[in-house]
Amino acid sequence: MPKYWLMKSEADVYSIDDLRRDGRTLWDGVRNYQARNNMKEMKEGDLVLYYHSRQSPSAVTGLARVVRESYPDPTQFDPGHKYFDEKSSEEDPRWWLVDIEFVRAFDHPVGLPDIKARSDLSEMVLVRNSRLSVQPVLEQEFQTVLKMAGEAMP
């Protein structure tokens, strides 16, 4: 059985349409341990709610799927890169990432206010801990958000 997750990006940095264009991407640049640990838990085939933060309203805008399980984030080893981490090493990498692929963009994104308005979504990590950029989602929560978007299960 696949597990369910939510990943955040700012639309002007990397939007669901950017992911559609690229087909797949590596989720680099995560420098938060909790988010990293969540990516280490991901398995191929897990489904991801794609979320645009820092827009009005912030919203779940589509779906993605995990296509490669965690491996070291290459940007941490590149001294010229903004995500370079001098305290990490190839022998003992600190930061890990996964590859995801585009599944679909929603015709009707599900806004954060609508999510917050639902009592059956009040325990979502998105509601509880707004700062975590890679977070687990319960199957029930995933299905509820899909239904709110007017989408069927992939």
Partner DNA sequence: GCCAACGTTGGC
* Choices 38-46, 63-71, 99-107, 129-137 (CB under 7 A): range interacting with DNA: 129-137
Binding track, positions 90-119, relative to DNA; x by CB under 7 A: ----------------------xx--x---
CA-to-CA separations, 52 to 23, 57, 76, 79, 112, in angstroms, rounded: 18, 9, 24, 29, 10
Instruction: Please identify, using beta-carbon distances, which residue of 117 and 140 lies nearer to DNA.
Output: 117
Please name which of 76, 67, 68, 77 lies closest in space to residue 30, comparing C-alpha atoms. 76
How many residues does the structure list for the chain? 154
Q: How far is the CB of 47 from DNA (least distance, A)?
A: 19
Q: How far is CA 54 from the centre of its chain?
A: 15
Nearer to DNA, 44 or 78 (CB): 78
Nearer to DNA, 15 or 133 (CB): 133
Which of 3, 20, 31, 68 forms a contact with DNA (CB under 7 A)?
Answer: 31
CA distance linking residue 15 with residue 34, whole number of Å: 22
